[in-house]
């Protein structure tokens, strides 16, 4: 470029270096020589803001050796931001490492404290225990049955007429032969008298013709006709007597009367299908119930050797309502339900059982004298079956068992316990095998058979 030529210079300062928008320094001069260039450079340096000291200071540490002057300044302007970013990334990495180190140290310290606390002996868990005992326990089958009267009678009138009297009150217990009703007997008394008179006349006629027929004065046909007439009138007389007797209705059995359907003064008829009253025999009484067919062979086996006792309770199994014996086994299995019908006869002396009532039935087949028992509250269920927590030397362990049956609040154990083991009867939620427990005096005495 010639000395007289006009020189135009532009210099753009990056916002990355100055942290602000780029500026354009414009210088236009006429002239030539190094003095003009130096003046232009000074003018540009005066117009451009210097780089921040902090960033230049950071970049200076990463500048290559040997850079001086303009090259050094260009390096600072070009690489200042990159160096700052690199330093920022390193700082973040160092900060993350420090935070992770602190967290790991805290975790290790916490675990060490936990292990140290776990090594301290925890107080024994207080539990309630009982001893597995050997006692006499019944072999029994439970069911729900229905009370049924052994003998039920519906009282129906045998003759028609006006009901004159009722000799009992509804719900009264009556004896066999006790009067219950009286139907107006007047028409039947008159019929009885009429038929009796006809019979006596016919009999007299036949008696008179008998010797005459023997001598031939009366034909045999006439005599036979007189005898037949006498027989017919006698039958009519007897029927009238029976009808008269029907006007007095008496109880055929001992039992409890039910609802009185017809009151005195009403006309009763032999064509009516509604009974005057129903009488149920109450002593003794039957209880019928069903058991699954798989129990039939066992019941028949015990029934062949001795009478099977049956105990009656409330429907929920509580209370004692009476006891009797098994008296009936049906000869057919119900193909729909797969059950067999059984009936037990109960004396019911206090008339505690009522026909139609649902009750609990306990069929006791036999009594097992050496049954190992524990309270049913001690039985726990797991993936491998039933088990109990046994306490040995103050430490719990799991003992697998097989429960044969439950009688009341006692479970009969067929395997797993022999008697005398101390088991936990009230199992807390925190119970685990292998923990120390403290127990009070155990309830029950081991290996002491006694009747239940």
List beta partners, residue 391.
396
Q: Where residue 16 falls among pLDDT bands split at 50, 70, 90?
A: very low
The position carrying tokens 């193909």 is 335
As a whole number of angstroms, the distance between CA 152 and CA 257 comes to 10
pLDDT above 50 for 20: no
Q: What is the CATH number of the domain that holds 400?
A: 2.40.420.20
Could you give the C-alpha distances from 196 to 15, 62, 238, 247, in angstroms and in order? 150, 154, 8, 18
Output the pLDDT for position 25.
Answer: 44
Q: How would you label 181-191 residue by residue, b for 16+ Cβ within 10 Å and e otherwise?
A: bbbbbebbeeb
As a whole number of angstroms, the distance between CA 144 and CA 358 comes to 7
Indicate whether 364 belongs to any domain: yes
Do 349 and 375 have their domain in common?
no
The position carrying tokens 């420090």 is 98
Q: What is the CATH number of the domain that holds 334?
A: 2.40.30.170
Q: Cα torsion for 142, 147, 149, 150, to the nearest 10°?
A: 0
Do 265 and 172 have their domain in common?
yes
Do 157 and 275 have their domain in common?
yes
Indicate whether 343 belongs to any domain: yes
**Contact (Cβ atoms closer than 8 angstroms) between residue 404 and residue 412:** yes
As a whole number of angstroms, the distance between CA 102 and CA 95 comes to 11
Q: Where residue 317 falls among pLDDT bands split at 50, 70, 90?
A: confident
Each residue of 64-87: pLDDT tens digit?
556 556 666 666 566 555 556 666
Each residue of 224-281: pLDDT tens digit?
999 999 999 999 999 999 999 999 999 999 999 999 999 999 999 999 999 999 999 9
> Cis ω on the peptide bond leading into residue 284 (within 30° of 0)?
yes
As a whole number of angstroms, the distance between CA 381 and CA 213 comes to 102
H or E element that contains 29: strand 24-30
Last residue of a domain, one of 253, 279, 305: 279
Do 316 and 255 have their domain in common?
no
Indicate whether 356 belongs to any domain: yes
Q: What is the CATH number of the domain that holds 176?
A: 2.40.50.100
Indicate whether 434 belongs to any domain: yes
As a whole number of angstroms, the distance between CA 11 and CA 29 comes to 15
Do 311 and 392 have their domain in common?
no
Do 275 and 294 have their domain in common?
no
Do 196 and 224 have their domain in common?
yes
Do 165 and 272 have their domain in common?
yes
Indicate whether 327 belongs to any domain: yes
Each residue of 288-312: pLDDT tens digit?
999 999 999 999 999 999 999 999 9
Number of other CB atoms surrounding residue 33 within 10 Å = 9
What's 377's DSSP letter?
G
pLDDT above 70 for 415: yes
Q: Where residue 441 falls among pLDDT bands split at 50, 70, 90?
A: low
**Contact (Cβ atoms closer than 8 angstroms) between residue 132 and residue 372:** yes
Indicate whether 12 belongs to any domain: no
Look at residue 278 and give its three-state secondary structure.
Answer: strand
Indicate whether 64 belongs to any domain: no
**The two structure tokens encoding residue 94:** 């160092």
Do 301 and 350 have their domain in common?
yes
Each residue of 162-172: pLDDT tens digit?
999 999 999 99
Last residue of a domain, one of 279, 313, 345: 279
Do 163 and 266 have their domain in common?
yes
Do 173 and 264 have their domain in common?
yes
Do 177 and 263 have their domain in common?
yes
pLDDT above 80 for 376: yes
H or E element that contains 108: helix 69-119
**Contact (Cβ atoms closer than 8 angstroms) between residue 395 and residue 435:** yes
As a whole number of angstroms, the distance between CA 441 and CA 439 comes to 7
Burial label, 36 (beta-carbon count in 10 A; 0-12, 13-18, 19+): middle
Last residue of a domain, one of 244, 279, 314: 279
Domain of residue 378 covers 126-134+369-439
**The two structure tokens encoding residue 266:** 């009403």
Average pLDDT for 188-214 = 92
As a whole number of angstroms, the distance between CA 253 and CA 150 comes to 11
CA-angle at 15, arms to 10 and 16, nearest 5°: 125
Indicate whether 340 belongs to any domain: yes
Burial label, 42 (beta-carbon count in 10 A; 0-12, 13-18, 19+): exposed
pLDDT above 70 for 447: no
Output the pLDDT for position 131.
Answer: 93
> What is the reported pTM?
0.60
As a whole number of angstroms, the distance between CA 128 and CA 431 comes to 12
H or E element that contains 212: helix 186-215
Q: How many domains does the chain have?
A: 3
């Amino acid at each position: 470029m010639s000395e007289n030529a006009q020189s135009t210079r532009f210099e753009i300062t990056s916002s990355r270096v100055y942290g602000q928008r780029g500026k354009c320094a414009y210088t236009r001069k006429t002239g030539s020589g190094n003095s003009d260039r130096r003046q232009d450079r000074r003018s540009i340096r005066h117009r451009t803001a210097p780089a921040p000291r902090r960033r230049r200071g950071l970049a200076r540490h990463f500048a290559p050796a040997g850079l001086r002057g303009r090259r050094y300044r260009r390096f600072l302007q070009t690489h200042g931001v990159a160096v700052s970013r690199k330093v920022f990334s390193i700082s973040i990495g160092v900060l993350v490492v420090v935070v992770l180190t602190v967290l790991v140290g805290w975790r290790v310290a916490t675990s060490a404290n936990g292990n140290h606390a776990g090594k301290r002996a925890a107080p024994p868990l207080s539990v309630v225990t009982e001893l597995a005992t050997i006692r006499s326990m019944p072999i029994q089958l439970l069911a729900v049955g229905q009370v049924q009267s052994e003998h039920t009678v519906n009282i129906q009138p045998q003759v028609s007429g006006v009901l004159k009297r009722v000799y009992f009150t509804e719900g009264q217990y009556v004896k066999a032969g006790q009067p219950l009703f009286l139907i107006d007997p007047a028409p039947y008394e008159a019929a009885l008298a009429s038929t009796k008179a006809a019979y006596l006349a016919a009999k007299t006629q036949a008696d008179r013709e008998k010797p005459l027929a023997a001598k031939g004065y009366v034909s045999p046909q006439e005599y036979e006709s007189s005898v037949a007439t006498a027989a017919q009138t006698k039958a009519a007389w007897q029927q009238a007597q029976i009808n008269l007797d029907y006007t007095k209705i008496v109880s055929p059995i001992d039992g409890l009367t039910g609802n009185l359907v017809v009151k005195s003064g009403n006309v009763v008829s032999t064509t009516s299908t509604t009974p005057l009253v129903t009488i149920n025999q109450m002593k003794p009484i039957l209880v019928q119930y069903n058991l699954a067919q798989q129990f039939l062979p066992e019941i028949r086996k015990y029934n062949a050797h001795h009478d099977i006792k049956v105990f009656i309770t409330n429907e929920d199994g509580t209370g004692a309502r009476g006891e009797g014996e098994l008296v009936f086994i049906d000869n057919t299995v119900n193909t729909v339900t797969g059950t067999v019908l059984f009936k037990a006869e109960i004396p019911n002396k206090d008339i505690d059982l009522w026909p139609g009532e649902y009750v609990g039935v306990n069929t006791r087949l036999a009594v097992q004298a050496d049954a190992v028992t524990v309270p049913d509250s001690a039985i726990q269920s797991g993936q491998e079956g039933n088990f109990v927590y046994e306490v040995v030397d103050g430490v719990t362990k799991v003992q697998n068992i097989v429960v044969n049956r439950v009688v009341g609040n006692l479970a009969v154990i067929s395997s797993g316990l022999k008697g005398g083991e101390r088991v936990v009867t009230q199992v807390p939620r925190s119970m685990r095998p292998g923990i120390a427990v403290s127990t009070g005096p155990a309830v029950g005495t081991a290996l002491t058979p006694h009747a239940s």
